[in-house]
Structure 1
Amino acid sequence: MLNLFAFGSQAGSSPLARVVMVVAPQKLADNEYRETRAALEKSGAAVTVAGATLEICTGYGDIKVKPDILIDQVSTEEFEALIIIGGEGVIPYLWEHMGLRQLIKNAFTQNRVVAAICTAPVALARAGVLKGKTATVFADPEYIAELKAGGALYRDMPVAVDGNLVTGNGPEASQAFGAKVVGALLTRRWK
């Protein structure tokens, strides 16, 4: 297993948390990735990027992200938060990714912070972790229907927090989403 603790931490210091950010190979939402990662790193979190492939992932603009690890290699024992970044690429690459689905279930049952933004909350719904939970998603009727079919209590709001679950509705919510994820990590740390 890969030691995620080493990523992003400075020698001799301990990060706020070890975080895995999952990205799609294409059509990654640039701002969602940048703003969320910036909030995490500013808070002192060690960030590891996981992907369906180790090839460079591209977004809508100039962003290029090289995953550190494959989704199927991530172990829940090695992180405190699982964050899935949105964009249209999530739909073909991550909604039905069985390794990600199992990772989401494991993270949720082990009380990790589980977060998703834009189109990515549908992956949480399909993994079965949104039953009876307040959640949001990009305001598209198909995505909203997916959340409701997964048992979520859909709310039309920028960011929804329900326990260790954090969901955001899209690029405009990126800063608030990142802040709420950091808040959930701080809450988890001091419990």
Structure 2
Amino acid sequence: MRIAFLVAPEGVEQVELTDPWQAAKDGGHEPVLVSTKQGEIQAFNHLDKADTFPVDEVVGEAAPGSFGALVLPGGVANPDFLRMDDKAVAFVRDFFEQGRPVAAICHAPWTLVEADVVRGRTLTSWPSLRTDIRNAGGTWVDEQVQVCDHGANKLVTSRKPDDLKAFCETFLDVFAEEAA
């Protein structure tokens, strides 16, 4: 399955990109790095610059229907940049409209809030997003990983890098179920 990993040109938390990316590859999937600009993205280790990664597809040209699922890595700046880009927000919303599974970790649910896909769903995130999620009509829980099966698709969310092992295992299981 082709899995879109949507990130901004800078600000993604590196481990929240690389661990799920490797898990997807190890699971036999094809991860594809999608961003709002061509070239490379700059990852971070919290506030310090880390590695760069080449962009495979640009969000305005990428067809959501060509992917089986979407992963939204976190980082504080990454989802904040994405939620200010209309094409990125539309890209995310399209996965929900098409009933495709989505996984988001840490601060990534900010993009989900902007896409207006949180209402009626239960999810987790970095704790500082709790009020934003509630204000958007969602229910926030403090769990290592949360799977919400509300609506046509499943949403997998997780809180932080310490939860990556459970996040990766869960989204791979959910994506496999959805593909079957």
**Do the aligned residues in 2 keep the contact of 1:37 with 1:178 (CA within 8 Å)?**
no
Deviation string, structure 1 residues 11-66 (Cα, Å, up to 9, x no partner): xxxxxx11000112222111111110111111101111001112321222432111
1:134 aligned to 2:122? yes
Tell me the equivalent position of 1:28: 12
Distance 2:137 2:68 in 1: 25
1:37 aligned to 2:24? no
What are the residue-to-residue correspondences of 1:104-143 with 2, within 5 Å? 104-140=92-128, 143=129
Deviation string, structure 1 residues 153-180 (Cα, Å, up to 9, x no partner): 1001121111211111121112221111
1:65 aligned to 2:49? no
**Do the aligned residues in 2 keep the contact of 1:56 with 1:65 (CA within 8 Å)?**
yes
**Do the aligned residues in 2 keep the contact of 1:52 with 1:93 (CA within 8 Å)?**
no
Of 145, 148, 156, 2:131 maps to 145
Tell me the equivalent position of 2:65: 77
Distance 1:31 1:67 in 2: 17
Tell me the equivalent position of 2:89: 101
* 1:150 CA drift (Å): 1.3
Tell me the equivalent position of 1:8: none
Q: TM-score, normalised by structure 1?
A: 0.85
Distance 2:132 2:86 in 1: 17
Of 170, 173, 178, 1:183 maps to 173
Long gaps (5+) in structure 2: none
The amino acid that maps onto 1:38 is Q
Give percent identity, aligned residues only.
Answer: 23
Distance 2:51 2:169 in 1: 21
Distance 1:18 1:134 in 2: 26
Distance 2:131 2:34 in 1: 27
Deviation string, structure 1 residues 103-139 (Cα, Å, up to 9, x no partner): 1221111110112111111111221111111111111
Aligned residues: 172
The amino acid that maps onto 2:10 is Q
